Amino acid sequence: MKLSIKDLSPAGKRVLMRVDFNVPQDKEGAITDDSRIQGALPSIQHLVDAGAKVILMSHLGRPDGEKNPKDSLKPVADRLGELISVPVKFAGDCIGDEAAAAVVDLNNGEVLLLENVRFYAGETNNDPEFAKQLAANADIFVNDAFGTAHRAHASTAGVTDHVEQSAMGFLIEKELEYLVDKLEVPPRPFVVIMGGAKVSDKIKILERLMEKADAFIIGGAMANTFRLAQGYDMGKSFAERTDEAMEMARGILATAEKNNTPFHLPADTRHTLDFCDDAETECTGIWGEEGTAVPADREGIDIGDVACKDFAEVIASAGTVIWNGPMGVFEKRGFDIGTKAVGKAMAENEKAITIVGGGDSVTAANQFGFGDKMDHMSTGGGASLELLEGKELPGIAALDNK
């Protein structure tokens, strides 16, 4: 068990906290979604209330080791100041004299945000000297940036070698609770929903959860690959068409059959001639019936109407549901029916533990108004996937044990 922010005595201490403030912005630099800032507020407020000197660091964008004004965290500091109970100061650098002077001026219970750590190449290289410079202004380190916890960077792992204590924040603690602890002995039936583009991206999760799940639901372009592996004609649908992908898909299907684990592929597929908003769409017949195919000049872009109903029934009976990956190209109007159906079914199952495993699924759940009805919405895309695969995340492994 890792040391928690709750285990610290931070009063009067300089607490350096890694947060994930990599927020989306419009062309003018205005923040369009502050949910990542909101997610860090409980940990920040806890330290403020405890009388710590709170020093925040984050990355933003992809400056690739160069100081680029468009990737400055100054707008984030301004937004954070609107959301928290104390003023937020800003330092124009994350190391060196400017950062050190800003920390010296910090009083107990105040907050300082440092400039973008990825303005230095040493961040992503986990350069020991850069990590030492980051930690020079800190007594304690708290990591609350789950979205970068799968990266062994200077600000997520390297700094832990140069501070008195290293602990996880409330956000990471909650992620571990839902993506690890609650899945150890999940309320049954345990249903895993997988979507997105590629079987190869999710193969390790499917293999690991095959031992634990009671049923799988597969959608998105992943389902196209499985149907191809079964010998069906998928027209112009996006799918992984390599021999390796076909072997991978057949292997998963064989394991599910051997384990007697229901593996629900879409009963039908929604397809289109035109890949655009509000395009005309049709559904195939039921896969397995004679003549069912995606026409050669069309592409599958969502699960079909029968599949929506079938999947909703499986979800309604579940005791635990974890969802990672949309059912179709939900970003386009008319191609979002399956993703909405899955999100709605999860939101309506009030008896189940419902977990949305990061990435596009979180975006979709929020977009369609289901986010606040889920028990947990993961803040990590790649980090969520690696945790579900059973991997140790460097940004968590580096923290102190209790």
The CA distances from residue 241 to 219, 222, 227, 238, in Å, are 17, 11, 11, 9
Count how many residues are written for the chain.
Answer: 402
- Nearest CA to 262 among 207, 222, 228, 218? 218
| Terminal C-alpha separation, the chain | 6
Which token pair is 252? 């998963």
What does the block give as tokens for 378? 């993961």
Exposed, middle or buried: residue 89 (CB in 10 Å: 0-12, 13-18, 19+)?
A: middle
Read off the tokens for 225.
């690959």
**C-beta separation of 216 from 255 below 8 A:** no
Active site residue 151: no
User: Which tokens sit at 163?
Assistant: 């501070």
Longest dimension (CA), the chain: 75
3-state helix, strand, coil in the chain (%, to 5): 40, 15, 45
Q: State which amino acid sits at residue 236.
A: K
Q: Write the DSSP assignment of 55-103 as a string of letters.
A: EEE---S--TTS--GGG-SHHHHHHHHHHSSS-EEE-S-SSHHHHHHHH
In the residue annotation, 118 being an active-site residue is answered as: no
What the block records as the tokens of 306 is 């029968």
Of the residues 61, 65, 251, 382, only one is catalytic, namely 382
Measured distance CA(149)–CA(152) in Å, rounded? 7
**Looking at 2, 14, 36, 298, which residue is catalytic?**
36
For residue 315, the SS3 value is: helix
Residue 352 tokens read as 């189940």
SS3 51: coil
Find tokens 């979507």 and name the residue. Answer: 195
Selecting among 195, 359, 380, 381, the annotated active-site residue is: 359
Q: Which of 198, 212, 373, 391 is catalytic?
A: 198
285 labelled catalytic: no
> 320: part of which helix (H) or strand (E)?
strand 320-324
In the residue annotation, 359 being an active-site residue is answered as yes
Cα gap 242→265, rounded to integer Å: 20
Which residues are tagged catalytic? 36, 198, 359, 382
